[in-house]
Amino acid sequence: MRISQNARTILVRLQFVIVLWGCLACCSLSATEPLCERFQSPPNSAKPHTWWHWMNGYVSAEGITADLEAMHRTGIGGFQAFQIERRMSPGPIKYLSDDWRRLMKHTIEEADRLGLEVCFHNCAGWSSSGGPWITAEASMMKVAWTERQVSGPQPVTIKLERPTDRDPYSRDIAVLAFPTPQSESHGEPGFRIENWRAKAGFERDNYIQPDTRTVETGDVISTDAIVDLGEEMTADGTVAWDVPHGEWTVVRFAYTPTAVRNRPAPREGRGYECDKLSKTAVDLHWENCVQKVLDDAGPLAGKVLNNILVDSYEVMQQNWTKGFEIEFQKRMGYDLKNYLPVLTGRVVTNMDVSERFLWDFRRVIADLLTENYYQHFADRCHRSGLALSIEPYGKPGNLDNFAVADVADIPMGEWWARTPPGLHFGSSKMAASAAHTNGRRIVGAEAFTAGRATAAFVQHPYRLKAQGDYFFCQGVNRFIFHTFVHQPWAKDVLPGMTMGPWGFQNNRNNTWYEQGKAWNEYLSRSQYLLQQGEFQADLCYFPGEDAPQVCPNRNDMQPAVPDGYDYDTISCDNFMKLTVQDGRIVMPGRMQYRVLVMPEGPVRQQVFEKAHQLLKSGGHLVWAKPKRAPGLQNYPESDRSIRQTANAIWGECDGTDVCENAVGQGMVYWPRSLQKILASLDVQPDVEFHSVQPIATTLYSGVGYEWIHRLIDNVDVYLISNQQEVARQVEVTFRVDGRTPQLWNAQTGEIKQAPVYESTDDGRTRVPLFLDPAQAVFVVFNEPSKDRSVVDILHNGSTPFSKGRKLAEPLIIHRATYGDLNGGAGRQVDVTGRIRSKIASNAINVEVKWDLFGLDPAPGSPKQLRVKYSVGDKKFLTVVNQNETLVLNRVTNPVPATAEPATLAVSRKSTALHAWEPGTYEVVYSDGTRNSLEVPSIPESIDLSTDWKLQCPREWGPENIDLDRLVSWTEHSDPELNYFSGTAIYRKEFDVPADRIGQDKSVRLDLGDVKLFAEVIFNGKNLGTLWKPPFQVDVSGLVQPGSNQLEVRVTNLWVNRLIGDERFEPADRYEPNVKPGEGLILKIPAWLENGSQRPATTAKTFATCKFYTQDSPLSESGLLGPVKLDFAIRRTLEP
């Protein structure tokens, strides 16, 4: 049957709609599978994914199958396929060769067999889109120039060399002559606009500020004096010209390749990066790379291979393309030719006009990059039935990150394992906001990227859990691990291939990979709920239209986001789509907000008019009065129009005496405390925390707890995360009333009613929670509240929640000064407000850097921060050097919350108290009634900390060890146990008296301290893997009177074995004199190259990167205890 081209296009687009729905929204609820059932058994779409790196041609079909089967076995839902080179000798499989294409096809077929999703990174390397097929003409371009000074009046003939840089390709833009600026008349560099290279798009600066200096008249170039000599120049660059009177500068402007290549790519896949401002260049790349993979995938393209990735932008700047001047005039409404000298840092007309032109110039670059690279890439994906994943940010590049994020079908963020806030810290919130405002279901993230010390096989799920939960609360709902490195060799080559010194080693050769399935199950349940319904937020921040654009961290948002409220950011395109309904700012069909926060500073006329419309329609906007437009579009009329209308909008509102003004049905507020503005609108905090214990140190600043709120078919779902690695008791108040809270445990899948809760007088619900170290729990409000609820449990007359507790003495910042403290006042700046905004948990822990304050008051000089502060009645002064950390009032030795003396289990039929301590218990109900009971004694715990047998796998450690007491493997007398890495089995037989068990008792096995995983088998019943404290499991119903058998399979890290093998003569050579943790192997050994047997060696391991020496400290390992059986008395309460 023949199908017309139009029909084929329709079919492909229909296929894309079906695939995208399946990829992004198949996790939505169905009538036959209630929310709770899908939570307990999540669909594939909820599973975490991983990056999967093929390393410089070392690939095998057997390794591919083993890798993918391991992913499937441990609960991974898919992978993003990369091909990279990290200073490693090349392997036999060349990128895009026939052999490579057969192996990639095998990959896709195996993924189909196993039910895994496949994403293909669009080129070799991780950034960005390029290869040897990209010609110089199709590569990234930048403006270049050559110039000569001439004197007149006289006729001259000069030759202007063709402007080039790293490639001989060059095409002319214009040849201009202008009177030589006065400061350049003697061959001096002359006056230049401050930070001109960033402003002209040659470098990236996320915090561009206008130059407000006064320019001498002789350094200003008048447009009337500029002479166009383009017609006078011959092909060889010769210009014959009758020079007028005076000194003149002749400049030949051209564009030439940046010569940036995709990286870090295998040699055969390495070439120029494609022109990011040209659809033609993007098409050239697509056809020569992506299309080949799609062709090989056949019918599995769009089904199994269902999306393409563009990783973070790391390929430097581009500020021109063929036809740029035409696009500029079309978009900005004026010819840029006479402003070209501004791109060299010179001033044309005046400083203000020059800065405005540069704003327009950057804006056009950013728009072309979004449209012709990212959006065109998305269009190509959609035509092939694919989705597009994008990390919409980068250190270089003139990107408007918010606009790029809009393009992504799966927007992605990024964070680094156990690393303080860094370059891309705000990317996850931005990606989530883009998903919310564009109706995307999935928010991906490059999760737990690691380098050097953090990649040295030291990471494990508990170490990463609080950090991962933090980013769940930022809106991420699909972790994509960094990374699973392809293992091409035999299964006994351990730990085998690494991604050089990068990645947290989450692959099948890690000691704990199989045990990590329990973590993946936790993530899948969490991600399932976080992929449902709609995100709830009260605030929407519009960052404005500057280019480049980045998303600040929460602590850097201005005005500050108050505790208890959440927010989105929004791009300019989506800002223009906002409407107002019932006083709420609405993104039609998607999001609703109570308050819109506008940026300070210049604003383009169309944005100004849109904001005015929102105000008149009833919106509430926080907005400092703008005075002008940022660029030269319709200038100067645009400035006059904005000033005139702004005077009417703000009226007497000046931010000092008057801070708000009614506009139509809405209200404009001068920027101030958003908490006060929201309170004036009767918008209470969505969540409030009242911690019983002081807040311990957390990786990221905050109140010690994080949260996110989603609404799923009228069911309010909150994720509450204890960010502290210590147990805590906390009262959480939710902006929900009239419904019973349930606690959904994503670790176990258990769902139970919150045993204690109460309605507050202001129409909210207060729920006291006991949270284990780094524990997170979903609090779900679904069913209507009962007539009464338990509001307190008293043990011997009190609870931690009702005991009077001393309030922490407040930390108060009196004055903070930053700059050259030994210099004059002009080299210092008051940053008191900025430092105050960094207070979290009544403490400050922040690195002192110039970008913390957004300016450098003393360029070229050492800078310090001086802070005068008080805690209670005590006053202090501290001085911190640049790049050091300011630490004030931080809790350094947190005391964990004491274990609950009793737990309450509430069901529709009964309420049962499980008492772990003796005493008098009193259950208090919301109607004032009380129910008391006495528990005179509790069965004594049984100590299991002695007399164990330990077995390690043959050839990796001692096979039989008797332990009279539990110790770390590193402290045992047997050196083979000291250096053992892997899983060892503890076995013990013990007796339990018959009177310790029964229907009225509960029994809990407590393993104490475990390093790091414990798979528990009790009387032949496998109770699963414990991977975080507390290492406890309920064994009620399993304990037998008399003899009982306990088996605990404990897994540690690779660290100790790698250190132990450093004692032996090395069989392979690694790079010397490199950074710690970056000792890459110089050459893959011959026995791996040819598949022969490994030469005799005492070492048990082989890895392609050396992270340790024989003197490196060993990592505590094993079952440390104390191990015990605890008992509780169970009592059913009278209704």
φ, ψ of residue 299 in degrees (nearest 5) = -65, -15
Give the up-direction half-sphere exposure of residue 943: CA atoms within 13 A in the CB hemisphere. 6
Contact 110, 380 (CB under 8 A): no
Contact 913, 933 (CB under 8 A): yes
What's the mean pLDDT when you consider all of the chain?
93
Query: CA 1010 to CA 246: how far, in whole Å?
Result: 83
In this predicted structure, which of 37-46, 806-815, 983-992, 1023-1032 has the lowest mean pLDDT? 806-815
Which token pair is 559?
A: 């005005």
Query: Tens digits of per-residue pLDDT, 93-122?
Result: 999 999 999 999 999 999 999 999 999 999
Please report, as a single letter, which amino acid is at residue 991. Answer: D
Q: Which residues pair with 233 in a beta bridge?
A: 239
Q: Among candidates 92, 89, 83, which has minimal Cα distance to 269?
A: 83
Query: CA 1119 to CA 1103: how far, in whole Å?
Result: 27
Written in H, E and C, the secondary structure of 438-496 is: HCCCCCEEEEEECEHHHHCCCCCHHHHHHHHHHHHCCCCCEEEEEEEECCCCCCCCCEE
29, pLDDT greater than 50: no
Confidence of residue 33 (pLDDT cuts 50, 70, 90): low
10, pLDDT greater than 80: no
Query: CA 29 to CA 38: how far, in whole Å?
Result: 8
Q: What angle do CA 73, 78, 83 make, to 5 degrees?
A: 115
In this predicted structure, which of 414-428, 432-446, 529-543, 572-586 has the lowest mean pLDDT? 414-428
Query: CA 256 to CA 172: how far, in whole Å?
Result: 9
Which token pair is 34?
A: 């209630």
Give the up-direction half-sphere exposure of residue 781: CA atoms within 13 A in the CB hemisphere. 23
Q: Among candidates 284, 448, 281, 308, which has minimal Cα distance to 390?
A: 308
Query: Tens digits of per-residue pLDDT, 920-979?
Result: 999 999 999 999 999 999 999 999 999 999 999 999 999 999 999 999 999 999 999 999
Helix (H) or strand (E) holding 193: none
φ, ψ of residue 267 in degrees (nearest 5) = -55, -45
Q: Among candidates 628, 611, 771, which has minimal Cα distance to 691?
A: 771
Q: Which distant-in-sequence residues (6+ apart) come within 8 Å of 770 by Cβ?
A: 727, 728, 729, 897, 900
Q: What angle do CA 56, 59, 63 make, to 5 degrees?
A: 140
Q: Which distant-in-sequence residues (6+ apart) come within 8 Å of 158 by Cβ?
A: 148, 150, 238, 239, 241, 250
**Crossing angle, helix 98-114 and helix 290-297, to 10 degrees?**
50
Residue 448, Cβ density class (10 Å: 0-12 exposed, 13-18 middle, ≥19 buried):
buried
Listing DSSP states for 798-809 in one string gives B-TTTS--PPPP
What burial letters (b/e) apply to 398-435, b meaning 16+ CB within 10 Å? bbbbbbbbbbbbbbbbbbbbbeebeebbbbbbbbbbbb
Number of residues assigned to the chain: 1135
Query: Tens digits of per-residue pLDDT, 560-589?
Result: 999 999 999 999 999 999 999 999 999 999
Other beta carbons within 10 Å of 647: 10
| pLDDT of amino acid 420 | 80
Task: Return left, alpha or beta for 582; rule: phi > 0 is left, psi -120 to 50 is alpha, else beta.
Answer: left
In this predicted structure, which of 240-249, 452-461, 725-734, 885-894 has the lowest mean pLDDT? 885-894
Query: Tens digits of per-residue pLDDT, 585-629?
Result: 999 999 999 999 999 999 999 999 999 999 999 999 999 999 999
Query: CA 60 to CA 801: how far, in whole Å?
Result: 59
| pLDDT of amino acid 856 | 84
Helix (H) or strand (E) holding 649: helix 637-650
Residues 1018-1038, mean pLDDT to the nearest whole number? 98
Q: What angle do CA 34, 37, 39 make, to 5 degrees?
A: 105
Residues 525-549, mean pLDDT to the nearest whole number? 97
Contact 985, 1049 (CB under 8 A): yes
| pLDDT of amino acid 442 | 98
Which token pair is 841?
A: 């948990």
13, pLDDT greater than 60: no
| Beta strand pairing call for 387-390 and 305-310 | parallel
| pLDDT of amino acid 328 | 98
Residues 823-847, mean pLDDT to the nearest whole number? 83
Residues 627-634, mean pLDDT to the nearest whole number? 97
Of the two residues 1028 and 804, the one the predictor is more confident about is 1028
Give the up-direction half-sphere exposure of residue 352: CA atoms within 13 A in the CB hemisphere. 8
Contact 727, 771 (CB under 8 A): yes
| pLDDT of amino acid 192 | 98
Q: Among candidates 499, 507, 498, 422, which has minimal Cα distance to 467?
A: 422
Confidence of residue 805 (pLDDT cuts 50, 70, 90): very low
Query: CA 45 to CA 20: how far, in whole Å?
Result: 12
Query: CA 730 to CA 743: how far, in whole Å?
Result: 14
Q: Among candidates 601, 605, 653, which has minimal Cα distance to 627?
A: 601
Query: CA 523 to CA 521: how far, in whole Å?
Result: 5
Q: Which residues pair with 846 in a beta bridge?
A: 886
| pLDDT of amino acid 701 | 82
| pLDDT of amino acid 274 | 98
Strands lying side by side in the sheet with 584-587: 579-581, 584-587, 591-593
Helix then strand then coil, % of the chain, to nearest 5: 25, 30, 45
Query: CA 991 to CA 1125: how far, in whole Å?
Result: 11
Q: Among candidates 738, 718, 743, which has minimal Cα distance to 789?
A: 738
Which token pair is 1014?
A: 């414990």
Residue 784, Cβ density class (10 Å: 0-12 exposed, 13-18 middle, ≥19 buried):
exposed
Q: What angle do CA 282, 287, 290 make, to 5 degrees?
A: 90
Query: CA 908 to CA 575: how far, in whole Å?
Result: 48
Query: Tens digits of per-residue pLDDT, 1064-1115?
Result: 998 888 888 677 667 899 999 999 999 888 998 999 999 999 999 999 999 9
Question: Which 3 state secondary structure label does DSSP give 639?
Answer: helix
Other beta carbons within 10 Å of 1105: 25
Query: CA 699 to CA 418: how far, in whole Å?
Result: 7
Confidence of residue 15 (pLDDT cuts 50, 70, 90): very low
696, pLDDT greater than 80: yes
Question: Which 3 state secondary structure label does DSSP give 657?
Answer: coil
What is the separation, in whole angstroms, between the first and last Cα of the chain?
73
Provide the percentage of residues in the chain whose pLDDT is more than 70. 96
1121, pLDDT greater than 70: yes
